[in-house]
Amino acid sequence: MDKLVFHIDVNSAFLSWEAVYRLHILGEKTDLREIPSAVGGDIKKRHGIILARSMPAKKFGVRTGDTINDALKLCPNLVLVPPHYDLYDTSSKAFMEILKEYSPCVEQYSVDEAYCDMTGTVGLYGSAVVAANLIKDRIYSELGFTVNVGISSNKLLAKMASDFKKPNLVHTLFPNELEKKMWKMPVEELFYVGSATKRKLHGLGINTIGELARTDLDILRAHFKKYGEVIYAFANGVDVSVVASEAPANKGYGNSTTIAFDVDDPSVAKMVLLSLAETVGTRLRKDSVMATVVAVSITDFEFNHASHQLTLLTATNTTNEIHKAACRLFDELWNGTPIRNLGVHTSKIVTGETMRQLNIFDMNRYEKLSKLDKAVDGVREKYGENAIKRAVFLDNPIHHMTGGISPEKRKPKYKEGILE
Position 367 pLDDT exceeds 90? no
Print burial letters for 232-242: b (CB count within 10 Å at least 16), e (below 16): bbbbbbebeee
Q: Give CA 341 to chain center in angstroms.
A: 18
pLDDT of residue 416: 40
Q: Give pLDDT, residue 418.
A: 41
Q: In 53-76, which positions are buried (b, 16+ CB within 10 angstroms) versus exposed (e)?
A: bbbbbbebebeeebebebbbeebe
pLDDT, tens digit, for every residue of 236-253? 999 999 998 776 777 899
Identify the active-site residue in 18, 107, 113, 278.
113
Q: Determine the pLDDT at residue 303.
A: 82
CA 4 to chain centre: 26
Q: What is the pLDDT of residues 306-360, one digit of tens each?
A: 999 999 988 999 999 999 999 999 999 999 999 999 999 999 999 865 455 656 5
- pTM for the model stands at 0.76
Mean pLDDT of the region 87-104: 94
pLDDT 10s digits, 182-218: 999 999 999 989 999 999 999 999 999 999 999 999 9
Please confirm, yes or no, whether 113 is among the known catalytic residues: yes
pLDDT of 156 above 70: yes
89 pLDDT above the threshold of 70? yes
Query: What pLDDT score does 420 carry?
Result: 40
Which pLDDT score, from 0 to 100, does residue 98 have? 97
Across the range 88-103, mean pLDDT stands at 95
Exposed / middle / buried, residue 415 (Cβ in 10 Å: 0-12, 13-18, 19+)? exposed
> pLDDT > 90: what percent of the chain?
69
Whether the CB-CB separation of 58 and 166 falls below 8 Å is answered with no
For the segment 293-298, the average pLDDT, to the nearest whole number, is 95
Quote the CA–CA distance of 360 and 378 in Å, as a whole number. Answer: 30
Rounded-to-10 torsion of CA 218, 221, 226, 229? -50
pLDDT score, position 186: 97
Q: Give ∠ CA 72-261-87 in degrees, rounded to 5.
A: 60
Mean pLDDT of 277-283: 93
Rounded Cα distance, 364 and 108, in Å: 40
Domains, the chain, ranges and CATH? 1-175 (3.30.70.270), 182-235 (1.10.150.20), 252-409 (3.30.1490.100)
pLDDT at 7 over 70: yes
